[in-house]
Structure 1
Amino acid sequence: MATEFSDPLDQIVDAPFDTALSERYLVYALSTITARSLPDVRDGLKPVHRRLLWAMRLLKLDPGQGYKKCARVVGDVIGKYHPHGDVSVYDAMVRLAQDFALRYPLVDGQGNFGNIDGDNAAAYRYTEARLTQVAIDLMAGLDEGTVDYRPTYNGEDEEPEVMPGLFPNLLANGASGIAVGMATNIPPHNAAELIDAAMLLIDQPAAEPAQLLQYVKGPDFPTGGIVIDSAASIAEAYAIGRGGFRVRSRWEKQDEGRGTWVAVVTEIPYGVQKSKLIEQIATLINDKKLPILADVRDESDEKIRLVLEPRSRTVEPEMLMESLFRLTDLESRISLNLNVLDANRTPRVMGLKEVLTSWLRHQIEVLIRRSQHRLAKIDDRVELLDGYLIAYLNLDRVIEIIRTEDEPKAVMMAEFGLTDRQTEAILNMRLRSLRKLEEMEIRKERDDLAKEREGLVALIESPARQRTRLKRDLGVLRERYGLETPLGARRTTIEEAAPAREIPLEAMIEREPITVIMSQRGWIRAMRGHIDLASADAVKFKEGDGPAFAFHAQTTDKILLAADTGRFYTLGGDKLPGGRGFGEPVRLMIDMEGDVGIVALVPASASDKLLVASSDGRGFIAATAEAVAETRKGKQLVNLRPGAKLKVVRAVPAEADYVAAIGDNRKLVVFPLNELPEMGRGQGVTIQKYRDGGLSDVIAFRFEEGLSWTMGGETGRTRTETDLTPWRVARGAAGRMPPTGFPRNNRFV
């Protein structure tokens, strides 16, 4: 007989691909959010951390016991509770033991667990661990019916859904994680401050978030440092659960004698690896991006000590450190994103008050469940004690029944009205327990239990008693983690920093003299030193090319390049190619079209003001700072009319009071400088009118000194015309022919 097989194709479900993909991705996303990346608001733990602590508890790795190999712990965790890779589980365990990563470590490690330089921990076969007192406080009450348990992934064991302990772990130790579509980042805080704020909420549930900040000053990082944000900024971050904190290194000036000094860094921002920080600073020194810093030395042992040596004794310590704060991770920003799982395992962003309120609600629930559990234990014990008392009151008859009856249990239950548990307990009593003293102890124990039961019932029924009891328990915990204890003392200082000073460019760039040269084809270079521009052999160009602009400057200068489109571009003096060879095309450094002409190349330090003019005879005065652009695209300074181009860009001397302009028609006008407006951007005003042609050149000068121009020829004689009265007119006039001997190229310079 032939066996019938089902067609595998019959099991294929025909569904749209996007629907199938979204359904499966949603399942993955929810798993990542709830079972991996986000901490629970009640105990501040992710599943892997909770399972690590649970496994170590079952291994009896208490603080008073000996250490056990981490491999044993990791093996139990991945074998019983957490079906993931051993590397990820061990990495999580290592972090719980690092005193520079956790404000209150939950694991006491023995061996190499990594360091603040970023070195990895030794393999788990070499390291050992046990729990800390903080972990014990976090798990206190697990045997008292305070939380629910759930089966492990294979159904063979069980694990707690949440830890019941009173330690405020979520905010005290913080957390970070990236889920699907969301993330969390919670910096560590001071446990004593959190307990004080929680006590305030117990007394005043409607307290404003600002009142809580009287106790919770800000984060308290294990590595110390200084939070420099304003109180308003910190308050806003805690109110909405989102924001950030700027953390600076702690440093001090140390005198070395004879006027010399060094800056010593003793604390660095949280999460910054010391080795990478030193590498950052060394790179600044090697690249000469901070000339006022000469050297950095790492003299750290168990405590951090970074020595920063200035270039000279005249350097201001504050300027040096502010420069380093800007350029390195000596100052870093630590974000706050209080995205956690609430009691219903729903991800939410909470403010400080909501987090503490949710945690207190959980602790009240734990307190009630612990009381109910104890109440059930008392009732069970009282039931047995009542049975014992009945046995003592009828001791002779009980002994007779036991000796004579084949089934004494049933006879005793029927005759004395005992329960099954009471009868079993009586039958299992030892003979030595039948003495009179034992009866007295039983009566005393029953009276004590009855009194305790009365108190527990009152506690369960009274929210006021619950709050009082919780405050008392928190007070005991605060004594252990108080600000006066070595573990609880605040490490991070909250100090609002003054507004950042503008660091001069000279502090960032080593100041050196250079000679900037640009050819007619737009090749630019910067030769070291101030060379003699008059020397023919000083500068060489490619065949068919020649000089266009040349001037002396400094590496700290910003070089302004003006295009005939009216757009200005900015080049850094320190970024220009060296003087070897012919330089590089300037168009590779800025976003300028190839057919656009270059009108001028001037250092921004040449003058505070620029005289700009277009070919149609319009112009204005512009502040040099307005021409400086921050991007490669440049900055449009002069708006041109159709057909016009930018013709002239000249620095305005500080003593200048007049303007001279000459057109293509060789007509010259001279008028006061104050007739030209100062503008940030625009077309400007008419400088000179023309019937034909346009503007040839314009210059600002001092009227008393007159106009000077080079006569040319072998002598290179310069002529000066001091009497300019015939050409002195109002702005916008047509003008008259220039003085005799004025250059035929119609250029003043």
Structure 2
Amino acid sequence: MIEDNKNHKDNEEIKEIDSSLNTEDDKSDDSDKIYEVKPTILETVTDNIVPIKIEDEMKVSFLDYSMSVIVSRALPDVRDGLKPVHRRILYTMSELGITSGTSYKKSARIVGDVLGKYHPHGDASVYDSMVRMAQPFSLRYPLIDGHGNFGSIDGDEAAAMRYTEARLSKISNKMIEGIKKNTVNFRPNYDASEMEPEILPARFPNLLVSGVSGIAVGMTTKIPPHNLGEIIETFITFARNPNIDINELIETLPGPDFPTGAIISGKKGINQAYLTGKGTFWIRSKAKIEHLNSGRSRIIFYEIPYEVKKPSIIEKVAFLVKNKKILGIKDIRDESTRHGIRVVFDIKKGFNPEVILNKLYHSTDLQISYSINMLALVKGVPKLMNLKEILTHYLEHQKEINLRALNFDLEKASERLNILSGLKIAIENIDNVITIIKSSSSDQIAQERLAQTYDLNPVQTKAIIDMRLGRLTSLAIEKLISDIESLKIEIDEIKSIIESPEKLIELIITQHKATAEQFSDPRRSEIIAEIIRLNEEDFIPNEKIIISLTQNNYVKRLNLEEYRLQNRGGFGASVSNLYKDDELKSVCITNTHSDLLIISSSAKIFKLRAHQIPDSSKQGKGLPFLNLVQVQKDENISALIPWNQQYNDHWLITVSAFGYIKKTELSEFSYIPKNGKIALKLVEGDYLKSAFIVPASSEINIILASSQGLVNRWPIKLLRNTGRASIGVKGIALEEGHEIVGACYTFGNDFVFNLSKHGYGKKTPVEEYRLTGRATKGLKGLDDEKAGDLIFVGTIGPDQEAIIITKRGFAIRIDLDSVPIISRRTKGVKLIKLKGEDEISFVTLIKKETN
């Protein structure tokens, strides 16, 4: 405002000069007059501006800012393991007398003193730092004893500083112990009104015990917390032998120890960090699996990784379950209390909890990697250090503060001895001393006469003048003599330690042993050599299974042993509890470790590991296929095909209901995205009826069967390879109203196995179906109205069995050696009895198992 007024005044002066130049008198005869124009403020300032390149100024300013962040904010000192803000908080609380043995004080009072005296930054940064030092889940050994809401492991924020209270914890006494004995250097604060310590004495290796993380400019530090007892043991080993090989030193330290416990894995990475300053390891949540009487199970997590927020884990798992990335979790509950963590995942029946646990570890923060970067300040300079270097600097720090404390004690003891020695002389000559004092006109004259008479120094004479008469009792005299002898012994001991490096080391070791005895506790984090990264199949036995599919696309798997061998002609056994208006559609036999090719009615192909279909029981209804693969709601599953890597050089044969057939190399389906891949093109109204894999051989014959009971057989060489997006060619001629009911292949010496929808079956030599051309009607394979329409055709060899399923969920497993060999025009024999309106739905063929 003042500057604006001044500018205004200058402008007025200029206007006056300008106006004077324009007067009439001036025009007439003042042309030679010289007028002086005062410079403006802007012109004056401009004269003092020094041009500088902006890039040069940015370099200097950014470097200053970087060093300020590195030295004064983000990185800890290697000696006390503290950043400046933490050091100032602890020192302020010590100066205020808020130690472990006193009452709590308001956090706002502490923060205010820190800000006003030492740390001219925001109050939030100070309070946040103070809160973290009070959290038992952040620091292995909290340096502040908080009273009130100081946050939680769930990520809840602490209450405002006006509500909470704090005091130093007991272990913090070790951080400031001896600070009054001139053990550390002090420097002026930001305005030179106070003195603050450059470092704290720190009587234990706080950098390793508490750990630290910080992001500076162009560098970061991340040091995990450790167990106090283990660190002190390692330090003592090093102190006794500073030349110890670093590999031997590393062997004495098991590894980090986190306040939240959990499992640490990766000893190799931990040792690498101790050796070089950098390394990575894994932290895994602790969990247990409970199996319930209902057949269900639950996974319970009771320890989680360090600095991971519990709600974020639960949210992530809920997201994965909702998006079907993880299947089988029925419910998630957080049952944690103030006594510990308990997060429960209820597992659906039929799902393997170990598989789900493995997925949770690999998909969420229930297992994280931790990267160590042991960077700290050494004499104000950031340095990456290994374990031995950190302990070296810490030991030098302990030597220095102990020597300074010993010298301080020596000075005080010497001063005390000097005074007591003078008092002893006075007492021994008390009568003459009293005479000298009484005859002196002043204290000054009395001190001078005493000094001359008994060769005393001013300190001693002053003490004699100030001595009370009570010191002349015999008891006081004895105590005086005893104190002098004790001081002499103390001084000799102090001098011997100062003069002997070995005794100094033993003193440091004794101090640290006492600290360990007082504060060490059992390890919380369990350390294992390595986490074996298991796949799902490592938890699942490789066994034969049968997968069943219903008309409404419900799928389930059972162990093949659930389908027991029976004599032909029986009713079979119930193998599925179907929903209303649903019926069994097909079954597939495979292994739990095999892939399953799934082809929808719209000719899209998907791939799924067989064990991903939940295990079930005979009475289980199954799971919607929509939960496993990304089929559309209006699509049906048309084919389930077992697939192994050994099939890579095979062909995929697809047959549509209208009789179109196509041969495609399986290599075209080596990669199938989650949303599927087109397997063939369909004409309007057509849909996929059958699909199977055949060896890449020209000796194969294709067999197709229609609902009329007609069967044709023709060489596969009549069918050329086509791409995925083609329709294919006609494989069989169909009359109106009829469609394909079965397709298979043969090498020529097999039997053709037919089954009708009323349960009649037979075996016929394949030669009875003579070779024809492609797209012919074929020959009669079933000629009896009582048998019903042909429902299945397949080729079989010796030692084979068939599993026949009905629409109502009954199944029978029979030995095909019991089925007679008869001509193709007969109806066959009854293989299964059907109840009511039940019909045959599907048949699958398997090789006999040999013991």
Interval of TM-score (by shorter of Structure 1 and Structure 2): 0.7 to 0.9
User: Cα distance, 1:58 vs. partner?
Assistant: 1.3
Q: 2:391 — aligned with what? A: 356
* Partner-residue secondary structure (3-state), 1:307: strand
Letter of the structure 1 residue corresponding to residue 458 of structure 2: D
Letter in 2 for 1:324: L
Residue 146, structure 1, aligned to residue 179, structure 2? no
Q: CA–CA distance in 1 between the matches of 2:745 and 2:255? A: 72
Query: Does structure 1 residue 319 correspond to structure 2 residue 328?
Result: no
Contact in 1 for aligned 2:650/2:695 (Cα 8 Å)? no
1:199 aligns with 2:236: yes
Unaligned runs of 5+ in 2: 1-35, 541-547, 554-581, 586-599, 611-625, 652-662, 678-690, 702-713, 724-728, 749-770, 777-851
- What CA distance in whole angstroms lies between the structure 2 residues aligned with 1:722 and 1:289? 41
Residue number in structure 1 paired with 2:497: 459
What is the alpha-carbon distance in structure 1 between the residues aligned to residue 629 and residue 551 of structure 2? 12
* Distance 1:654-1:217 versus aligned 2 partners, 3 A rule: farther
Asked whether the 8 Å contact 1:68–1:129 carries over to 2, the reply is yes
Rg: which structure is higher?
A: 2
Judged with a 3 Å threshold, the aligned counterparts in structure 2 of structure 1 residues 654 and 456 are, in CA distance, closer, same or farther, namely: farther
Unmatched runs of 5 consecutive residues or more in structure 1: 483-487, 517-528, 533-546, 558-571, 582-601, 614-618, 635-650, 662-667, 672-687, 689-694, 700-706, 725-738, 745-749
Are 1:479 and 2:479 matched, yes or no? no
Which is further off, 91-100 or 437-446? 437-446
Residue 742 of structure 1: how far off its partner (Å): 5.1
Counterparts of residues 252-267 of structure 1 (less than 5 Å) = 252-267=288-303
| Mapping 1:330-729, distance limit 5 Å | 330-342=366-378, 344-406=379-441, 407-408=444-445, 409-482=447-520, 488-503=521-536, 550-551=603-604, 553=606, 576=630, 578=632, 608=645, 609-610=647-648, 627-628=670-671, 653-658=693-698, 697=721, 709-711=731-733, 714=736
Aligned partner of 2:98 in structure 1 is 61
SS in 2 for 1:710: coil
SS in 1 for 2:380: coil
CA distance in 2, matches of 1:281, 1:393: 87
The aligned counterpart of 1:704 is none
Indicate if the aligned counterparts of 2:98 and 2:104 stay in contact, CA closer than 8 A: yes
Q: 1:187 to 1:385 in 2, by over 3 A?
A: same
The offset of 1:515, in angstroms, is: 12
Asked if the contact 2:694–2:745 (Cα under 8 Å) also holds between the matched residues in 1, the reply is no
What does 1:113-132 correspond to in 2, within 5 Å? Answer: 113-132=150-169
1:17 aligns with: 54
Q: Distance in 2 between matches of 1:368 and 1:377?
A: 14
Q: Report how far residue 438 of structure 1 moved.
A: 2.9
Q: Following the alignment from structure 1 to structure 2, what is the Cα–Cα distance between the partners of residues 4 and 143?
A: 59
Q: 1:165 to 1:721 in 2, by over 3 A?
A: closer
SS at match of 2:344: strand
Q: 1:415 to 1:310 in 2, by over 3 A?
A: same
SS of match in other structure, 2:156: coil
Measured at CA, do residues 195 and 629 of structure 1 come closer, stay the same or move farther in structure 2, by a change above 3 Å? Answer: farther
Alpha-carbon distance in structure 1 between the residues aligned to 2:609 and 2:239: 61
Measure the CA separation in 2 of the matches of 1:389 and 1:719: 121
Matches within 5 A, 1:21-60: 21-60=58-97
Q: 1:401 deviation in Å?
A: 2.7
Q: Work out the CA distance in 2 between the residues paired with 1:450 and 1:304.
A: 58
The structure-2 alpha-carbon separation of the partners of 1:611 and 1:531, relative to structure 1 and needing over 3 Å to count, comes to farther
Residue equivalent to 2:268:
232
> Cα 1:316–1:670, aligned 2, differ >3 Å: closer, same or farther?
closer
1:291–1:620 Cα change, 3 Å: closer
2-structure distance, mates of 1:631, 1:42: 55
Alpha-carbon distance between aligned partners in 2 of 1:138 and 1:604, rounded to the nearest angstrom: 70
What SS class does the counterpart of residue 257 from structure 1 fall into? coil
User: Aligned with 1:62: secondary structure?
Assistant: coil
Q: Distance in 1 between matches of 2:48 and 2:439?
A: 72
Tell me if structure 2 keeps the 8 A contact 1:711–1:741: no
Check conservation: 1:78, 1:86, Cα contact below 8 A. Answer: yes
Q: Contact 2:133–2:143 (CA<8 Å) still a contact in 1?
A: yes
Residue 119 of structure 1, CA deviation: 0.7
Distance 1:139 1:603, change over 3 A: farther
CA contact (8 A) 2:291 2:297 kept: yes
For 1:660 and 1:113, the matched residues in 2 are separated by 76
CA change 1:11–1:604 in 2 (3 A) is farther
CA deviation after TM superposition for structure 1 residue 417, in Å? 3.0
TM superposition shift of 1:24: 0.8
Letter of the 1:44 partner, please give it. G
Change (3 A) 1:603 1:12: farther
Name the aligned partner's letter for residue 442 of structure 1.
L
**Aligned equivalents of 2:44 and 2:450: distance in 1?**
69
AA aligned to 2:377 is: L
CA gap 1:215/1:355 in 2 versus in 1, 3 angstroms: same
Give the 3 Å change call, closer, same or farther, for CA 404–280 of structure 1 in structure 2.
same
- State the TM-score, normalizing by the size of structure 2: 0.64
Structure 2 match to 1:485: none
Distance 1:251 1:108 in 2: 31
| Distance verdict in 2 for CA 1:575–1:267, change over 3 Å | same
Looking at structure 1, the residues matched to 223 and 314 of structure 2 have their Cα atoms a distance apart, in angstroms, of 26
Contact 2:210-2:226 at 8 Å conserved across structures: yes
Q: 1:480 to 1:514 in 2, by over 3 A?
A: farther
Report the CA distance between 1:256 and its aligned residue: 3.1
The alpha-carbon distance between structure 1 residues 210 and 434, as it changes in their structure 2 partners (threshold 3 A), is: same
Q: Please state how far the C-alpha of 1:296 moved relative to its aligned partner.
A: 1.2
- In structure 2, relative to structure 1, the CA distance for the partners of 1:64 and 1:361 (3 Å cut) is same
Matched residues in 1 for 2:173 and 2:183: separation? 15
Q: 2:179 matched to 1:155?
A: no
Q: TM-score, length-normalised on structure 1?
A: 0.72
Partner amino acid, structure 1, of 2:603:
A
Question: C-alpha distance in 2, partners of 1:722/1:218?
Answer: 64
Judging changes above 3 Å, is the alpha-carbon distance between structure 1 residues 716 and 433 closer, same or farther for their aligned structure 2 residues? closer
CA separation of 1:445 and 1:324: change in aligned 2, threshold 3 A: same
RMSD: 4.2
Q: Quick one: structure 1 residues 378 and 624, their matched pair in 2 at CA, closer, same or farther if it must change by over 3 Å?
A: farther
- Following superposition, the deviation at residue 139 of structure 1 comes to 1.2
Cα displacement (A) at 1:358? 1.6
Equivalenced residues, count: 607
User: 1:253 is aligned with what amino acid?
Assistant: I
In structure 1, how many angstroms separate the alpha carbons of the residues matched to 2:39 and 2:479? 77
Taking only the aligned residue pairs, the percentage that are identical comes to 35
The one-character-per-residue Cα deviations of 1:228-265 (angstroms, maximum 9, x if unpaired) are 22x32321122111122211111122343344432221
Inter-partner Cα distance in structure 1 for 2:516 and 2:234:
12
- C-alpha deviations, 1:118-151, integer Å up to 9, x for none? 1111111111111111101111111112111111
- Shift in alpha-carbon separation, 1:604–1:44, aligned structure 2, 3 A: farther
Note closer, same or farther for the CA distance 1:182–1:723 as it changes in structure 2 (3 Å cut): closer
Looking at structure 2, the residues matched to 604 and 720 of structure 1 have their Cα atoms a distance apart, in angstroms, of: 13
